[in-house]
Amino acid sequence: MQTQDVFFIDGVRTPFGKAGEKGVYWKTRADDLVVKTMIGLLERHPDLPKEAIDDVAIAAATQYGDQGLQIGRSASILAGLPLSVPGYSIDRWCAGAMTSVTTTGSAIGIGAYDIALAGGVEHMGHHPMGEGADPNPRFLAEKLVDPSAMNMGNTAEKIHDRFPHLTKERSDAFAVASQQKAAKAYADGKIQKDLIAVSAASDAGWNLVTTDELLRPESNLEGMKDLKTPFRPHGKVTAGNASPLTDGATMSLIAGEGAVKKYGLKPKMKMVSFAFAGVEPEIMGIGPIPATEKALAKAGLKMDDIGLIEINEAFAIQVLSFLDHFGLADDDPKINPWGGAIAMGHPLASSGVRLMNQLARHFEDNPKVRYGMTTMCIGLGMGGTVIWENSNYKG
């Protein structure tokens, strides 16, 4: 085997829907969502032989029901891939799809694979966060983990506690800006380029879902002020400055330089480095900080070298802690230029590839930017970061 460069060729996603009985995907199976992304992605590359795909990695934070039965393999069969193409499932909670990409990318990098599909799905309506989990009693009895670590909203409140200068007002302002940027990106036709429309059943019949359901472009600071704080009395985390519960799926095509040449693929970006890091579970939102420091060190880069950043907006305060640590302004234009999860939603294990899709499009629009990154916090105290090089770079 021979080592080779690893490229993000393309990525797609479903529009994201509101989790629960009132959401557009309530009567749609999770595996059907991810199958839709696989078919839609491969239709964009008709000259790529399906039998050339070496593996399929699909993430889900809940591995049962319509997200079970080895969804990496079962969805591959449902999508019509040859039975010779294997598949497997991944779980790293919010960073599931990110891990799908880094794991298959690593296999490609050492020459074991040439091409892979990597993505994730989360139907939070069918599978609420943590449902069916049975945490070992030692977690709490032996104080291995603070009880607040078991609730993501509480972990966000703890970041406010640790960094009081990161105020609720700043979180609200960041959230409003995310909504505004997402609305503008939709108006400019940016986000739609990588959306795969989904036919979804409802009591009224069938609907064609073509846009994210949870966008709130009318959001403003005045309206944010008095929202309830569900995680603690007089808290700072609200439905306005946090990502909503969401259903959706993502998929990416990852390939090595050999396959790029053989099949005439056009890479959007090259994987430079990646890293995952652990932090205290009860303050998991700061996870992207050490993960980014590790990824930068492995790449031999500094934050000043990074021209575009897609960071998952699980909570506004989590993003603010990252920006504050690296000396970046709350409104730095290189951060989430089209908004983020606060506006579009965060279907847990699928979100990593959404970040990559958007970064790849930013690279197309900004050929003078050489390096970018995708980064996110992960439940139970982790962070993940991938650094990418722009394939359209013209220095």
Residue 143 has pLDDT above 90, yes or no: no
- pLDDT for position 265: 98
Per the structure, the count of domains in the chain is 1
Structural domain range at position 336 = 138-191+272-388
- Strands 246-256 and 17-18, bridge-based pairing: antiparallel
Residue 1 has pLDDT above 90, yes or no: no
Tell me the C-alpha to C-alpha distance, in Å, between residue 50 and each of 27, 32, 90, 118: 30, 19, 22, 14
Q: What's the mean pLDDT when you consider all of the chain?
A: 97
| Cα(260)–Cα(268) distance, integer angstroms | 11
Q: What is the percent of the chain with per-residue pLDDT over 90, rounded to a whole number?
A: 93
| Cα(185)–Cα(179) distance, integer angstroms | 10
Q: pLDDT tens, 315-338?
A: 999 999 999 999 999 999 999 999
Indicate whether 22 belongs to any domain. no
Ranges 58-67, 77-86, 123-132, 375-384: which has the least confidence: 123-132
Q: Which residues are catalytic, by number?
A: 94, 346, 377
Indicate whether 332 belongs to any domain. yes
Q: What is the largest CA-CA distance in the chain?
A: 60
Could you tell me the CATH number of the domain that includes residue 299?
Answer: 3.40.47.10
| Cα(12)–Cα(104) distance, integer angstroms | 17
Q: How many residues does the chain have?
A: 395
Indicate whether 246 belongs to any domain. no
- pLDDT for position 148: 84
Q: What is the percent of the chain with per-residue pLDDT over 70, rounded to a whole number?
A: 100
**Position 356 confidence tier, pLDDT thresholds 50, 70, 90:** very high
Tell me the C-alpha to C-alpha distance, in Å, between residue 93 and each of 97, 107, 378, 379, 380: 9, 21, 6, 6, 9
Q: pLDDT tens, 286-304?
A: 999 999 999 999 999 999 9
Residue 131 has pLDDT above 90, yes or no: no
Indicate whether 167 belongs to any domain. yes
Indicate whether 303 belongs to any domain. yes
